[in-house]
Structure 1
Amino acid sequence: MGVHDCCDGFNFAIFSRHAERVELLIFEDPADQHPLWALDLDPAQHRTGDIWHALAEGVRWGQAYAYRVHGPLAPEAGHRFDADARLLDPYARAVAGRGGAGVPPGDGRCLLLRSRFDWQGTQRPRTLWSDTVIYESHVRGLTVHPSSASRHPGTFLGVIDRIPYLRELGVTAIELMPVQAFHRGDAGRHNYWGYDTLAFFAPEPAYAAHAAPGSVIDEFKTLVRELHRNGLEVILDVVFNHTAEGDERGPLFSFRGLDNAIYYLLGADRRRYENFSGCGNTLNCSHPVVRDFIIDCLRYWAAEMQVDGFRFDLASILGRDREGRLMADAPLLERIAEDPILRDVKLIAEAWDAGGAYQVGRFPGVRWAEWNGRFRDDVRRFWRGDAGMTGAFASRLCGSADLYQHSGKAPLNSVNFVTCHDGFTLNDLVSYARKHNEANGEGNRDGADENFSMNHGVEGPTIDAAIDAGRLRQIKNLLATLLLARGVPMLLGGDEFRRSQAGNNNPWCQDNALSWYDWRLVEENGEVLRFVRGLIALRQRHPCLRNDAFYRAEELDWFGPQGHAPDWDGPTRAFGCRVRECAEPGMLCLLFNASDRPADFHLPDAPWRLEADTGQAPPGDICALDDLRPLPDRQRYALAAGSLAVLSHL
């Protein structure tokens, strides 16, 4: 499938079962309006089964191509062929359209490019799940702000400029929001996030630093190579649940004009699309042709582009059958997990979709890690002070055995997070009681309404030092919980220096300072940055926090402030835990107080030293290894209201 150099010419191959005629168009230059020549594919010579193909001589690297596909325009039968449209090849490795307009609907160009690249002997880091700390970010947003001082702002090469920062922070992987070529929206709203894919094999051309056709491929590979050289993995956020073509009123780029009835889930009324994605259409992931396409695409990014893992947006859709029902043993999910080329890549599912599926803890297959939305919600609610959350919070802290253990999974199947791109930033989570999405142009109706957030007395920014101190302490509580919990922690990029989106919890169309990383905040909020670095270091020096098994009952001693057993479902919001499993460098004692009063804890009798206390000012909030000192009282510890502490055994 796609295009391949066969020495005596280029072989072109594309799928269409219901097409009546296919034309291959070759353009001398991607910007040309008229093709250099057109090859009418004769079904007798150029069709094998459902594959239309031709070996074309005289074609050169640097040229462009597209298809015109003739067939019935019969929406009632599911067919939407348009012979006037120039369609993208679903297997195209690169597409034209670096400018702000992107790829115009119905007039796409695919680029013919060499794929040679010097990897300079770099190897994948192959970081164990147990050692993984993920940093979720956006390619453009990371470096496009003038404060980044990047040599190539807003591009793949710009991300390279931030590698020293990522290493110093201590993360092991960067998870990039969509980098596959996407539709940038209409003139009204710009699609900043990139969740409207139009060419799944092609990197987004707007993320190239140089204008030369196809430079984006080399630049993406350069980014991967330099990340690997520095021990960092790259995980891609991929969107195989829908495409940029939307519903029946949407633009035409590729799949709809090639074979609409095969590529999409259609309703009983074949003119309409099933919409489990919330974006207008749903890919027909249960069809063998679509499954092969997705597997081929993943193999390409893993083998040719050398990426280390994938996070699957709305992954539950990949497990729906042709009637839209969830399958217990979905063939595509099993194929991805068992594919021999993909066996060593990380697989992360967003285990829900817009059709009502919520499979956290029940996503098929033990190879799949999941975004643990329950962790996010329960941790937020506990620290907000909601009643009855102590037991749920303890379960999330211990790896969510209640969600994963029954199906033979482990804590490492849980990707823990408190914030992600979809929702409030951490700073906004503690600064806003409600969303503020007016700038999106939808009357503040978009985005989640229930965020389990709190503003500490004032909505938005404040000059009140006491309120800001409370927010800062809560930020530390949430970050510490994330790094202390068993499972795989994921940080939202910028949370470590209090990046804000002014209360917008759905800035998908905000390609401006609202979404960009303002690196001046690194100095302004250096206290939080230092705290995160210290937390990651603390996690690394205590293997029990990273163990790939659930705690056994004999490894944990739970207690309330007075030493009695905690009231898991009652109003108590202060409790402690001694972790016996920590052999090196010693036992841990974790203390939590989400109440509005100080808690005087009776400790298990042992020589303890303080590692972290969010209720203390620096440097007591997070202690470097060389600064650990014994507690003056080995049996009691006073913990401030709304704080947590980490003690370790001498």
Structure 2
Amino acid sequence: MTIPTAAPEETPPLLDGLRVGPGQAQPFGATPVPGAVNFAVHARDTPRLWLVLMDPGSGTVLAEYPFPDEGRVGTVHTVRLYGAEAGRFDYGYRVERPPGTRSPVLLDPYARGLAGAGAWGERPRYRSRLLAAPGPPAVPRPSIDPADLVIYEAHVRGFTRDPSSGVRHPGTFAGLRQKIPHLRELGVNCVELLPIAEFDETDNTYTSPESGAPLPNFWGYNTVGFAAPKAAYAADPTPGGADAELRELVTELHRAGIQVVLDVVFNHTAEGGRGGPVLSFRGLDESAYYLLSPDGEPLNLTATGNTVNAGHPVTGEFILNCLRDWVIRYDVDGFRFDMASILTRGTDGRVLDDPPLLAALAHDPVLAGRLLIAEATDATGLDQVGSFPGHGRWSEWNGRYRDTVRRFLLGRRGSTGDFATRFVGSPDLYPGRPTTTSVNYITCHDGLTLADWTSYDRRHNEANGEGGGDGIPDEESWNCGYEGPTADHAVLRLRERQRRNALLLLLTSAGIPMLLAGDEFGRTQRGNNNAYSQDSPVSWLDWSHTASHAALLRFVSHCIAFRRAHPVLRRTTHPDGVLPDGWSCPPVSWHGETPGQPDWHPSSTLLAVLLHQQQPAGPADTVYLAANTGGARRTVRLPQPPPGTRWHLSMDTGAPTPLDSYPPGREPALVRGSLQLTGHSVAVLTAR
């Protein structure tokens, strides 16, 4: 390995009031101790290492002190800096490699704050910063059973960057905090934030085909500091500002009864491939932190240039400690792991049957009770959906649910039976495991928004500067008869029904539902299904849509309230068709135009399902759903509701607003024993 080097420098005298001595090998990173700061860093195969102190304003190097030989424990170098305190200086490390030369200043992998990034869009010159220890959480975490969760995936900057958001500090943690009333009114109780660990948004090789200006890395899946919140996401874009604002955001979300899940990226880093920058890991111990080929080249299993060596004990401990930091410092409620299948690979890159890191995360006492959600794929095509080694703790983004529901709503041949399996929690993928293993979604940040899924047959990614060939090639989308914006009322009505159909099926399916921010009010990305580089209205939520799409917003809030009101929709066991003793109906039964006669033919476009659950105390809970994915009107005869009840209409996507949905408890009773289904519509009934 070769890395850029800096010329040797003479060690300057100690700064006023400081003295150095050997430190302790644990914990890693910079840790305040009485009267001093302890530094501990793993650096293999280097005879010497220096602590570099820098001016917190300008970044000018103030002093460099060699780590004392007597402070070395194994491959851990330690030094204790007496008289130091948080805020007086920034810091970094230099290593001697090869002999006689010093590396550039390296970041501390465990740094809880990174200075030098500044406001959004400024080219960063990163420095590690010591932050003061936080106090205890201001409010307790909301206790929410995973079965009761409704997740809302959002990008911190994109959520409020548009002027229509009306917040004081657009595109920040503080801006998101101002939108908590919207989340509460909608009814979601968990926010999943796209990466908020420090990343370099200026790191993108592509340029705008219109202006020629560099495009940003907007999403942030190129982490620089894995334990440091992104400074530019704060109204005060400093490490201290980001630290304080993130804690305030989590506190206020918790106060509102909303949990917080962080999207974390432990499969690759911002150091990229061989020609990438040397920021930290590559200078300290490349073979421990990255998967390498026998000739020392980075293995690129992530399509980003490098792959984290999660199977190495040093790296596994680093990942575990970072997650603990987010829990201890910010009291977050869980994590979604980007390309989590990388974490299943051993030090040679091969997939392990029982990866030690996943077991450690599942059984770690600090992470106990926090959500662990895997994106169970990687860039090589490895797909572990249903087979991810979860140790009874992990949930998974269920991409098969997404694909199946999309195909079903388009009336694709052979999709009806597959949809039935997905609807009851994907028991084929998760036998013997709770339905909450499946995180169901139809849209996420990666792909078309829900409005665009009903408006475009193909991707429109020309603005990304990659010739329009990037992004998912085929999303099983349908423009409903016209590509893109239109004034055709028939097309617009069909698109509205399809959006409601998708949201209603999602929020009545067994598992944990996840919504994409803005789908509740018709957000569009103009057909761009890979908007990672679009810091523009393409990616920003247009809050004026809350007025222009108020009917859709009302419908979604009713769907969420309906889910919350019906325990039968939130069962953790996969229902079967066996009638238990004393029950009036089996847990699940399938129907068609005639009760008890579902149409499982590959060409079928009609399916109805009755869900039933006897309550330990109180009345039974019974829900009936009928979906017509064909274009023609269909009539279905209804099965008998439980004795002493009658059917009430909760949702009908084929009906005009406001007759398309009703708040729980206010649904009108049906006067006949059949249901008329408009083409491409879904109806839901409840027995009362």
Please indicate, yes or no, whether the TM-score normalized by the shorter chain is above 0.5.
yes
1:315-354 Cα distance to aligned partner (Å, 9 max, x none): 0000101121111111000100000111110110001111
SS in 2 for 1:236: strand
Structure 1 counterpart of 2:683, from 621, 645, 649: 645
The amino acid of 1:598's aligned partner reads R
Counterpart-to-counterpart distance in 1, 2:264 and 2:632: 45
The amino acid of 2:625's aligned partner reads L
Counterpart-to-counterpart distance in 1, 2:271 and 2:476: 34
Q: CA deviation at 1:103?
A: 6.4
The 1:582/1:427 distance shift into structure 2, 3 A limit, reads farther
Correspondence for 1:379 = 405
Counterpart-to-counterpart distance in 1, 2:238 and 2:623: 56
Correspondence for 1:76 = none
Q: CA deviation at 1:32?
A: 2.9
Instruction: State how 1:557-636 maps to structure 2 within 5 Å.
Output: 557-563=589-595, 565-581=597-613, 583=615, 584=619, 586-606=621-641, 607-633=646-672, 635-636=673-674
The amino acid of 1:464's aligned partner reads D
Structure 2 counterpart of 1:323, from 334, 348, 351: 348
Q: CA deviation at 1:116?
A: 2.8
1:481-512 Cα distance to aligned partner (Å, 9 max, x none): 00010000000000000100000000101011
1:372-431 Cα distance to aligned partner (Å, 9 max, x none): 0000000000101111100001111111111101xx211110000000000000000010
Higher mean C-alpha displacement, 425-434 vs 253-262: 253-262
Q: CA deviation at 1:269?
A: 2.4
SS in 2 for 1:278: coil
Correspondence for 1:133 = 150
Checking the alignment, whether the CA contact within 8 Å between 1:425 and 1:501 is kept in structure 2 is yes
Checking the alignment, whether the CA contact within 8 Å between 2:59 and 2:127 is kept in structure 1 is no
The amino acid of 2:93's aligned partner reads Y
The amino acid of 2:686's aligned partner reads S
Counterpart-to-counterpart distance in 1, 2:103 and 2:667: 72
1:577-622 Cα distance to aligned partner (Å, 9 max, x none): 1223265464221111001111110111342111111000122211
The 1:265/1:596 distance shift into structure 2, 3 A limit, reads same
Counterpart-to-counterpart distance in 2, 1:82 and 1:174: 47
The amino acid of 1:56's aligned partner reads L
Checking the alignment, whether the CA contact within 8 Å between 2:504 and 2:559 is kept in structure 1 is yes
Correspondence for 2:188 = 171
Counterpart-to-counterpart distance in 2, 1:306 and 1:99: 26
Checking the alignment, whether the CA contact within 8 Å between 1:542 and 1:582 is kept in structure 2 is no
The amino acid of 2:633's aligned partner reads P
1:447-496 Cα distance to aligned partner (Å, 9 max, x none): 01010001011111111111010000000000000001000000000000
Correspondence for 1:89 = 108
Q: CA deviation at 1:84?
A: 4.1
Q: CA deviation at 1:172?
A: 0.5
The 1:569/1:257 distance shift into structure 2, 3 A limit, reads farther
Task: State yes or no: 1:435 paired with 2:452.
Answer: no
SS in 1 for 2:118: coil
Correspondence for 1:465 = 489
Instruction: State how 1:450-599 maps to structure 2 within 5 Å.
Output: 450-554=474-578, 555-563=587-595, 565-581=597-613, 583=615, 584=619, 586-599=621-634
Normalised TM-score (structure 1): 0.95
Counterpart-to-counterpart distance in 2, 1:91 and 1:412: 33
1:424-447 Cα distance to aligned partner (Å, 9 max, x none): 000000100000111000001110
Instruction: State how 1:35-434 maps to structure 2 within 5 Å.
Output: 35-42=61-68, 44-62=69-87, 63-72=89-98, 83-96=102-115, 97-100=117-120, 104=124, 108-117=126-135, 119-120=137-138, 122-184=139-201, 185-186=203-204, 188-211=214-237, 213-270=239-296, 272-364=297-389, 365-405=391-431, 408-434=432-458
Checking the alignment, whether the CA contact within 8 Å between 1:24 and 1:67 is kept in structure 2 is yes
Counterpart-to-counterpart distance in 2, 1:307 and 1:210: 21
The 1:254/1:212 distance shift into structure 2, 3 A limit, reads closer
SS in 2 for 1:557: strand
Checking the alignment, whether the CA contact within 8 Å between 1:82 and 1:257 is kept in structure 2 is no
Correspondence for 1:11 = 38
SS in 1 for 2:429: helix
Q: CA deviation at 1:144?
A: 1.2
SS in 1 for 2:418: helix
The amino acid of 1:307's aligned partner reads V
SS in 1 for 2:39: strand
Higher mean C-alpha displacement, 200-209 vs 573-582: 573-582
SS in 1 for 2:649: strand
The 1:64/1:567 distance shift into structure 2, 3 A limit, reads same
SS in 2 for 1:548: coil
For the aligned residues, what is the CA RMSD? 1.6
Q: CA deviation at 1:56?
A: 1.1
Counterpart-to-counterpart distance in 2, 1:235 and 1:566: 39
Checking the alignment, whether the CA contact within 8 Å between 2:563 and 2:570 is kept in structure 1 is yes
Checking the alignment, whether the CA contact within 8 Å between 2:589 and 2:596 is kept in structure 1 is no
1:262-304 Cα distance to aligned partner (Å, 9 max, x none): 110001221x211111111100000000000001011111122
Q: Percent identity?
A: 44
Counterpart-to-counterpart distance in 2, 1:484 and 1:281: 40
How many residues of Structure 1 are paired with residues of Structure 2 in the alignment? 634
SS in 2 for 1:447: coil
Counterpart-to-counterpart distance in 1, 2:424 and 2:101: 55
Checking the alignment, whether the CA contact within 8 Å between 2:385 and 2:398 is kept in structure 1 is yes
Counterpart-to-counterpart distance in 1, 2:625 and 2:119: 53
